[in-house]
Structure 1
Amino acid sequence: MKILAQISRVIVGLLFIFSGLIKLNDPVGTQYKLEEYFEVFAADLPQFHDFFMALVPLALYFSVFLCTAEVVLGIALLVGYKPKTISWLLLAIIVFFTFLTFYSAYFNKVTDCGCFGAAIKLTPWTSFGKDLFLLALILVIVIYRKKFQPLPTGIIVVISTIASLGIAVYALRHLPILDLLPYRVGANIPAQLKPSEPLRYLYVFEKGGKEFEYEQYPSDTTLKFKEMLVLNEDAKPKITDYKVWNDAGDFTEGTFQGTKLFLIIKNLTDINTAALPDINKLINSVKLKGVEPIILTSGNSEEIVKFLSAHQLNAPYYYVDATVLKTISRSNPGLWLLKNGTVMGKWHYNDTPTTEEVIDLVK
């Protein structure tokens, strides 16, 4: 059991560090997941609606705290720092995560928990199983915590805390260090809207109380259809919800033609308007170089027209679903450069490029 406790310590420590670092790379992504949980709880528990909705504006702070805690607790566990305190804190945080993943799986809410950020997508039940596994290992750690020899490693924990917070702050003030999203630089959006290979299906039917499976749709009309499963899941399109439109109709294909610099305005409530003068200069400048500026927003027409007029932003605007805009850009506003559907550049408003930098990327 002592050996099992040591193995558990290593596995739990490494998993917590990996999970925390992946999410610290993109704390805004975890913020969105927490907001989704708060909104779901507010709807499912109407008696606590106001309480959960009051937590939504604090989601980013919770995100940074939880992600940093994962890394720091993982490192503290590995180096044997304050084993009693750390083991109980690990137990508390894994119970919290296990509850969230069980809720997601059982009630089919928040179907991607974001446990490993955008790096690894897990189904709700897989996420719940992963947390049960960690819970079992952490219980072993709690029981045998006195067997771990505490080390004078407080400085390591302090350094890891500072470093973790530094990663989060950098990602918030710029963009994730490692972009794992489908709209990253180098990605071809039209290609990701299609399957990477022809999809193969498994057709499941019932007859006489028995179940039958076919890879080709059967001609037997006496069979009762039950479900259709995709056999090559990895071949499914990586992007399924990218749609661009205005009052005149669909403009999705138009975004893939030529070179376009998109100004992403996710919403008008928390946009950093101080960045708009520099962005406006860039928009007006790239027009003269053959780059077409376009604004993508999820706001309604009346609000966006007033906003663009107030800030003298002279570019056509189109609508995109708010969730898609959150995936494209982690900053509000943000800049996104496409050439024939391939992402050539992506910038936080704190890193607005010069006209020369944009042109160099699309030569």
Structure 2
Amino acid sequence: MNKQGILWVLRILVGGLFIFSGLIKVNDPVGTAIKLEEYFDVFSNDIAGFFYYFKPFALYIALVLVVSEVVLGIMLILGVKLRQTVWALALMILFFTFLTFYSAYFNKVTDCGCFGDAIKLTPWESFYKDIILLVMISFLFIFRAELPEETPRWAGMAAIASLVISTGIGIWAIQNLPFIDFRAYKVGVNIPVNMQPSATLEYTYVMKKGEETVYLDKYPSEEGYEFVEMVLRNPEALPKISDFAAWNQEGDQTEFLFQGNKVIILSSNMSKMSEANQGDLNALVKSMEGAPVDVVFMAAATQEEIDAFLNKNGWSIIGLQADATVVKTIMRANPGIMIMKDGVVLEKYHHNNTPEATDVLDFFL
């Protein structure tokens, strides 16, 4: 294969991967923003304090990044302004490689969110993936002068269309919820079942016997062995959900949430909770009074803050505390609504789409 053929193959590979990665994340810009906030927190503590001031703009930065991945990938494949596109991709992959190396080496952000929640990579896997991309983009960068200069008119129009469409998809996902939910709490999931292993966990026991290292399927009963470590042989059997919990001053209330009909209003940060549709939420809570449904307000806050909020809005419902990370994973809206029956997620709503009480009751008939 000649040099032009190699450059064409690299354009397809790099562009395709950027499009794939971008489309997954443009489906959920809020998830990318959450990851950026984690990085800004880490960098503000470890590198420079000014990174903290980027946090309020994390969602806007996330939208620009995910849309750029899609558009630049399309531009690379279609041959739109190739030299400028390669420059932009080179800068982007350097940025991503720095993030993934920092995550892996310092074990700070253990999931970079490179492919959203669709494909989970370890920090080092993410870094190696970026190194491979960096090598491919470097080759394109070195030989950028030999890339085609002319851009077909239709290709330029397609790039503009991809910009408009991907931006529209991202904004829609922010104002509603992701089109496709890749998380452990998606509609149809039985949360208590997913909190249990899917099969019996099997371990290999690494032991020392004298100077010899031995690997055993069960812990030895005889003497003479020194324990080294346990290695899980079937990690795919681990629970898909390991951190779901809710509590109040009376204690753990997790099992209560898994019993019967539940409407759970969630807030990951009460100080930043939107009031745009407060009237609709008030109407829903009021309409559910007397129904065979437990309405619960579950927030990452102190019990005092939760009780004050309920009193302020006149909500005679149960208030529970939860971990902020768990709430953010469950719901990409603040506030949002989750409908559950016996621990099974039946539906989720952004506060912009707060349902009527009759729509909610239909789930339980």
Q: What TM-score, normalized to structure 2?
A: 0.95
Distance apart, 1:69 and its partner CA: 0.7
Matched, 1:165 2:167: yes
Q: In the TM superposition, what is the alpha-carbon distance from 1:70 to its structure 2 partner? A: 0.4
Structure 1 spans left out of the alignment, 5+ residues: none
| Structure 2 residue aligned with 1:59 | 58
Letter in 2 for 1:3: G
Distance (Å, rounded) in 2 between the aligned partners of 1:218 and 1:76: 61
Kept after mapping to 1: 8 A contact 2:258/2:342: yes
Equivalent residues of 1:262, 1:295 under 8 A apart: yes
Distance 1:207 1:65 in 2: 57
Change (3 A) 1:139 1:249: same
Q: Identify the residue that residue 131 of structure 1 maps to in structure 2.
A: 130
The residue number in structure 2 matching 1:309 is: 311
| Mapped partners of 1:215, 1:283: distance in 2 | 54
Percent of pairs identical after alignment?
Answer: 45
1:262 aligns with 2:261: no
Q: Deviations over 1:227-255 (max 9, x none)?
A: 22211111110100001111111111110
2:310–2:316 contact (8 Å) kept in structure 1: yes
SS at match of 2:363: helix
Please show how residues 238-257 of structure 1 align to structure 2 within 5 Å: 238-257=240-259
Alignment partner, residue 281 of structure 2: 279
Opposite residue 151 of structure 1, the aligned amino acid is: T
1:268-347 equivalences in 2 (<5 Å):
268-347=270-349
Which residue in 2 is equivalent to 1:30? 32
- Residue 294 of structure 1 aligns to a residue whose secondary structure is strand
**CA offset at residue 181 of structure 1?**
1.0
Distance, in Å, in 2 between the alignment partners of 1:221 and 1:21 is 57
Are the counterparts in 1 of residues 264 and 295 from structure 2 also a CA contact under 8 Å?
A: yes
Say which SS state the counterpart of residue 288 (structure 2) adopts: helix
| 2:220 aligned counterpart, secondary structure | coil
Shift of 1:146: 3.2
Q: How many residues align?
A: 360
What code does the residue aligned with 1:91 have?
A
Distance (Å, rounded) in 2 between the aligned partners of 1:196 and 1:259: 25
- Asked if structure 1 preserves the Cα contact closer than 8 Å seen for 2:303 and 2:319, the reply is no
Distance (whole Å) between structure 2 residues aligned to residue 268 and residue 77 of structure 1: 43
How far 1:60 sits from its partner (Å)?
A: 0.8
Which of 6, 13, 16 matches 1:14?
16
Distance 1:129 1:114 in 2: 14
Q: Residues 263 and 338 of structure 2 are in contact (CA less than 8 Å); yes or no, is this contact kept in structure 1?
A: yes
Unaligned runs of 5+ in 2: none
1:121 match: 120
Q: Distance in 2 between matches of 1:4 and 1:210?
A: 50
Q: Secondary structure at the match of 1:362?
A: coil
Once the two structures are TM-superposed, the CA of residue 207 in structure 1 deviates from its matched residue by 4.4
Q: Does 1:151 align with 2:175?
A: no
Judged with a 3 Å threshold, the aligned counterparts in structure 2 of structure 1 residues 209 and 72 are, in CA distance, closer, same or farther, namely farther
Are the counterparts in 2 of residues 344 and 362 from structure 1 also a CA contact under 8 Å?
Answer: no
Alpha-carbon distance, 1:220 to partner: 4.8
Give distance in 1, aligned partners of 2:358 and 2:322: 28
- Please name the residue that 1:217 is paired with: 219
3-state secondary structure, aligned to 1:64: helix
| Bigger mean CA offset, 215-224 vs 183-192 | 215-224
- Inter-CA distance 220–12: structure 2 relative to 1 (3 Å threshold): farther
The separation in 2 between residues aligned to 1:98 and 1:221, in whole angstroms, is: 49
* Residue-by-residue CA offset, 1:288-338 (whole Å, 9 max, x unaligned): 331110110111122222222222222110111011000111111110010
Are the aligned partners of 1:203 and 1:213 in contact in 2 as well (CA < 8 Å)?
yes
